[in-house]
Amino acid sequence: MATHTITLHPSNTTVAVPTGALITEALREAGLDVAQPCGGQGRCGRCAVVVEAGNVRRRSTIRLSGADLEAGYALACQTVIEGDATLLVPEQEKIERRLVTDKTARKVGVPFPYDPARDQTVRAFPLSLDEPTLTDTVDDYARLERSLAAHGIRNLDVPLPILQTLGPRLRDANWQVTAIVETDNWRRPDGPPRLIDLVGQSHGQAQGQSHGIAPTESGRADPRAGSPIYGVAIDIGTTTVTVYLVNLLTGEAVDAAAEYNGQIRRGEDVISRIIYASKNNGLGEMGALVRSTINEVIERLAQRNHVEQKQIYKATVVGNTTMMHLFLGLPPASIRLTPYIPTVNHPLPLLASDLGLDIHPLATVDCLPGVASYVGADITGGVLACGLAEADALTLFIDVGTNGEMVLGTRDWLVTCACSAGPAFEGAGVVCGMRATRGAIEEVWINSQTFEPTYRVIGETRPRGICGSGLISLVAELFITGVMDKSGNFDVGADPVSARTPRVRVGDHGPEYVVAWASETDTGRDIVLTKVDVDNLMRAKAAIYAGFTVLAQSVGVDLKDVERLLIGGAFGKYINVEKAVQIGLLPDMPWDRFNFLGNTAVMGAYMALLSREARAQIKAIAEKMTYIELSTDNTFYDAFTSALFLPHTDMGRFPTVAKIWGNGEREE
Amino acid sequence: MATHTITLHPSNTTVAVPTGALITEALREAGLDVAQPCGGQGRCGRCAVVVEAGNVRRRSTIRLSGADLEAGYALACQTVIEGDATLLVPEQEKIERRLVTDKTARKVGVPFPYDPARDQTVRAFPLSLDEPTLTDTVDDYARLERSLAAHGIRNLDVPLPILQTLGPRLRDANWQVTAIVETDNWRRPDGPPRLIDLVGQSHGQAQGQSHGIAPTESGRADPRAGSPIYGVAIDIGTTTVTVYLVNLLTGEAVDAAAEYNGQIRRGEDVISRIIYASKNNGLGEMGALVRSTINEVIERLAQRNHVEQKQIYKATVVGNTTMMHLFLGLPPASIRLTPYIPTVNHPLPLLASDLGLDIHPLATVDCLPGVASYVGADITGGVLACGLAEADALTLFIDVGTNGEMVLGTRDWLVTCACSAGPAFEGAGVVCGMRATRGAIEEVWINSQTFEPTYRVIGETRPRGICGSGLISLVAELFITGVMDKSGNFDVGADPVSARTPRVRVGDHGPEYVVAWASETDTGRDIVLTKVDVDNLMRAKAAIYAGFTVLAQSVGVDLKDVERLLIGGAFGKYINVEKAVQIGLLPDMPWDRFNFLGNTAVMGAYMALLSREARAQIKAIAEKMTYIELSTDNTFYDAFTSALFLPHTDMGRFPTVAKIWGNGEREE
């Protein structure tokens, strides 16, 4: 096969690739890391490069304007090399986003009265073994078991790596050791207990560590006097990985930290990641990326809290079903294809060494149970954390990200569904969309007379695009001020707005509203919201609202009867509820019924980390939840179609919006 | 540190080593594999090299004669390099020993009526899963469990490596699979069952294999119709590793093979191996050596029986406690040091992948239980196989190798002890001793008039030395013909034999008897038995006989009351019982009470491989056996001292020997 020389500017490097290779392959060959938020599907346009010279074939130009094409732009993921070529690779945008957890570092309280002897499955037992003699010759293993029997631990499992050093460890420590034991787990409620580590007093002292062993005078163990033992609660979000470091003796969340999921560079949403993971070695790469993110966060937590990573003896993990599959190395392809079947919703407990987590290699890693391909452990964890499963009143819990997952119920029953909202609320799939990073317009106000906007930019800098909360805000303002009608059409009626402001115009992608002129932006281009973007956002919000409707209908209640609306996820932290109600994303109800809970997923993982009982509750929640698959639900399509308006076909569902809109004197 | 150049002949290679290095280190540096049967203690003399020139310091010369030293010999393991040197490395003897199992290839019968559905813990279940639909969306894992529930399998454990390919395996096989499941093991008598493999019909066909799936018409599984499933029973002997390949559907031992334990080159007896394993990385090397031997034997068995190694789903392992420790990578040092404590007598079930066995990586490897540091799983397995635990009559079971282990008892009680016989009976620690290889004198007869010997040599070639059975035979003949007295002294009394034959003389090591003159040997040297050798053999046989005595005394019975004497181990296959009784190694009793059973250890492993019940019996045997530690037993020393004669101080214990000896007219 012929090979071609590709010259890359500005680095001026050259690589050789065969005929038919994609430009992305040439870039990777040259060691350049190209962002592919859409997973290499040509949807996001983020991998655009300029073809300065040479022979290439553009398979898809969907995200490029006529001007872009004239300037030589091509999508690296969609362009085939057919001869020597010279390419200009624009500098990748530096991703600087606000990471909430590290900034706020709020103290998270122990969520319930905690007694490790009652609640915790990982315990530290200080032991003083009898030294063997010629008349007491039981083997080391049986001797350890005999000593643990005083603590009610019997039939101990000793994993091979510990067995292989058991003899020297006991002798070096002069038979004074602390045994770290997992007494049980959800899969083995009656044991057998498993030895995770054996820490010798002399060993600890020799290394200057605090592996103190302090049997009380009566010889009985005080678990708080033993070695420090820690756990981690991990939330693998599609966008952000969050970890709590927890002291298992006190139950306290010592610290928390977060980092962007390293998989983002291979796809922004779960569908893109499934597609990427289904390619050659994509699964292995996805696993390595998220593992490395988690390990970075754990290392940071350990260092700044002076904890040794090998003192972390337990982990609980939540995430959506796709994130769990990628973390566990399970091929996710069937999640995306009808009938949407995951490999497993409730994985068995595993070992840190199986998964490459940099904590004690024999620590249990417990992935909490999900319910279905699109309702994962982040939601069951969230239901536990938000208290829905113990609610007397009718409660709706939602967690909106790339997908909108929602649960309706009380202590007696739970129904759940997931809507494929798409990435619009995360700024993807929108011409000037971006993530909630520095330079993103996050809130917009429009003057109803002049139609001139005022906006707030993250980082108080020149704007580069619009993030999810900015988009919701902008659509709501365009609707309320009459720039758009209920269907999201610009410039309609007898007195079109375009006659009164140059901000409403027809651009490359059809009708659009200019939020910021090129002269005031960081990119030197206008920042606009197009009709196509509005349609995307309408579909996203309609899908979520239709989900609420179907859930309520499925159990024969009315959304109006919902007494509490609990909103989890980072989305809930930034969204302007008033605007979200105005576009019909959230139901119109008294504001005191809304509760913003932040990251309920990691909170659920934290509770499960602490308590055998909480862990059992999550399992019970997962088993109790009735999953409604919307793609087979006859009522969903109707509900979706009805919601494809601002805020809804049935204005009666949105009385407060009707009132504001009425004040604007646009009653029809 | 200064380094020196060592030139090695005949290969003419040179290596550089620092001052103070041993010659063994220089040889290893040069890639030469030196035999160290005694573990580098200078006891065996097998690593002798000739120092042609240069500066070395001999730390020990215990095994070299004055003539050897004059000729420049040095023990590589005991000689320190202090300057440049030139060494001649004699060609290593090629080890060619007779390997019984491969030669005889006796058909081993299924030891009891075998019904896999009742007896076997590893089963094959042909399954036809429901294909998922939008109204039947349970995950793959739960779907598999649902299908297995029809076979009574519930709460299945699916190990991560299978989970990681579960989705594609089920879909590629079009939901028609055979599940290989371990339903339980001794540690988990009530489960949960564990999936070992999932074999797809289409997969098997694509590879041209015989993974047939044949659900019967009723839809119920016939385990014999599923995939072939095999197991291996492994006996790790100090000298020989023996493996049975077993069809788990029929119970039949399809084939058996054996190979010398690769650890031999690092020490012939367990003590030497413990010492070697306690050196730098010695433990890792010992583990690798035995693993490699086992894998070679398994590969040979699989190839010649057209079995794929990944179709071997279960292994049982026996061996003495030290062999088990080295196999499992457990440091054995404490076995050798008072109070002789092993890390573990009864290891938990492990996975083949944990231990590097080349069978299915998720196969269970079940190491059978031992009793103490010197009574291992080879003995408990032997007790099961020989039927002692179900005997009505008083029975003595012995397994003599480097150590002599023995068990006395009936169905109601068992006592056991182990005597450190040393390696004399295996030809080590004796000047002209050798293993039972080609060239070894294995039987000797002495003319009582001329004192001229007749001997038989293994391989019918010129003799190179004397093996264990030859030594027993020779000592018995020397005693019976009056060349030696009851104390093992040569040439005593008024009419010394040395006056009548040149074969009795005084050599480098004191008095000796010449078995073969240099002119008739393969080595060009006389083959002799020295007084020192005789003393070694006397101590060995006295230790074993004293063991019998102490065992009998401990339970208040007389050796004469023993109704059956069961002899296990390869030793029993070659030994001449008459001669063994004549030297006082075995008790003098009617010959019809002796039973030679061959390798009872591997037979025990085979039975445990087949049957849950047999496995439970071995555990019960191990728990029932009372171990007597001879080093703390007051009666042992007296019994040993009394046995340090030919055949014993108390001739009344050996009436048939007294009679022969009397016929020789040497009544005293």
Report residue A210's pLDDT band, with 50, 70 and 90 as the boundaries.
Answer: very low
Task: For residue A31, give the DSSP letter.
Answer: T
Nearest to B237 by CA among B357, B402, B458: B402
Residue A616 has pLDDT above 50, yes or no: yes
C-alpha A657/C-alpha A654 separation (Å) is 5
| Spatial contact of A312 and A363, defined as CB atoms under 8 Å apart | yes
CA distance B325 to chain A (A): 9
Instruction: Calculate how close chain B gets to A161, using CA atoms only, in Å.
Output: 9
Q: Cα separation of B20 and B17, whole Å? A: 9
Shortest distance, CA A312 to any CA of chain B (angstroms):
22
**Angstrom distance (rounded) from CA B618 to CA B453:** 46
| More confident position, B319 or A661 | B319
Question: What stretches in chain B show pLDDT beneath 70?
Answer: 1, 35-46, 62-63, 91-107, 201-226, 402, 422-423, 426, 492-493, 570-574, 662-668
- Any A CB within 8 A of B142 CB: yes
List the single best residue of A139, A143, A187, A634 to mutate versus B (max B Cβ within 10 A). A139
Which residues of B fall within a CB distance of 8 Å from A160?
Answer: 328-329, 350, 354
| CA gap B256, A121 in Å, rounded | 46
Q: Contact, B167 vs A331, CB < 8 A? A: yes
Give the pLDDT confidence score for residue A215 in this predicted structure: 36
How high is the ipTM of this complex? 0.80
The predicted pLDDT at position A107 comes to 57
Of A125 and A101, the one with more pLDDT? A125
What's the confidence (pLDDT) of residue A280?
A: 85
Question: Which residues in chain A are closer than 8 Å to B192, comparing Cβ atoms?
Answer: 187
**Which residues in chain A have Cβ-Cβ distances shorter than 8 Å to B354?**
160
CA A529, A530, A533, A535 dihedral sign is: positive
Is the pLDDT score of A629 beyond 80?
yes
B 518-557 → A contacts, CB under 8 A: none
pLDDT at A93 over 50: no
Rounded to 5°, the CA angle A133-A134-A140 comes to 55
A341, A365, A633: best to mutate for the B interface, most B CBs within 10 A:
A341
Chain A residues with CB-CB distance to B160 below 8 A: 328-329, 350, 354
Q: Chain A: residue nearest B141 by CA? A: A344
* Yes or no, beta carbons of B137 and A341 under 8 Å apart: yes
Enumerate residues 302 to 361 of chain B having a beta carbon within 8 A of any beta carbon in chain A. Answer: 328-331, 333-334, 338-348, 350, 354
What distance in Å separates residue A529's CA from the closest CA in chain B?
A: 38
Cα–Cα distance for residue pair B80/A512, rounded to 1 Å? 90
Mean pLDDT of chain A, nearest integer: 87
Q: Rg of chain A's alpha carbons, rounded to an integer?
A: 28
Give residue-wise pLDDT tens across range B525-542: 999 999 999 999 999 999
Rounded-to-integer distance, Cα A340 and Cα A627, Å: 13
At A298-312, the pLDDT tens digits run 999 999 999 999 999
Residue B107 is predicted with a pLDDT of 56
Q: What does each C-alpha distance from B627 to B106, B183, B404 come to in angstroms? A: 34, 33, 14
Q: Choose the closest CB to B331 out of A160, A168, A347.
A: A168
CB-neighbour burial class of residue A296 (10 A; exposed 0-12, middle 13-18, buried 19+)? middle
Assess whether pLDDT exceeds 50 at residue A213. no
Residue by residue, DSSP assigns B186-249 as TTBTT---EEEEEEEHHHHHHTT--------TTS---GGGS---EEEEEEE-SSEEEEEEEETT
Which tokens in the block code for residue B523?
A: 């080595």
Selection from A629, A614, A627, A651 nearest residue A110 by Cα: A614
Contact B347 A164 (CB under 8 A): no
State residue A474 phi and psi, 5-degree precision: -65, -45
Interface test with A, best of B160, B190, B198, B630 (most A CBs within 10 A): B160
- Nearest CB to B338; choose among A134, A141, A330: A134
Closest CA to A636 of A540, A528, A550: A550
In the stretch 629-658 of chain A, residues with CB closer than 8 A to chain B read: 629, 631-632
Contact predicate A646/A584, CB 8 Å: yes
pLDDT for position A220: 38
**Interacting residues of B217 by C-beta distance below 8 A, sequence separation 6+:** none
Distance CA B48, CA B34 (A): 10
Residues A119-145: what's their mean pLDDT? 96
Q: Is the pLDDT of residue A62 over 70?
A: no
Strands (E), B548-603: 564-568, 594-598
Higher pLDDT, B198 or A425: B198
Interface of A with B in 435-464 (CB under 8 A): none
Confidence (pTM): 0.80
Do A354 and B160 lie within an 8 Å CB cutoff? yes
Give the mean pLDDT of A184-190. Answer: 95
**B-contacting residues in A 147-206 (Cβ below 8 Å):** 157-158, 160, 163-168, 171, 187, 192
Of B158, B333, B343, the CB nearest to A166: B343
pLDDT number for residue B380: 97
Chain A CA closest to residue B332: A167
Percent of chain A with pLDDT over 90: 62
Distance from CA of B604 to the nearest CA of A (A): 23
Lowest mean pLDDT among A24-38, A114-128, A268-282, B357-371: A24-38
Pick B629's closest partner by Cβ from A134, A141, A157: A134
pLDDT of residue A60: 74
Q: How far is the C-alpha of B284 from the C-alpha of B277, rounded, in Å?
A: 8
Q: Is the pLDDT of residue A456 over 80?
A: yes
Task: Give first-to-last CA distance, chain B, whole Å.
Answer: 67
pLDDT category, A591, cuts 50, 70, 90? confident
Mean per-residue pLDDT, A201-206: 43
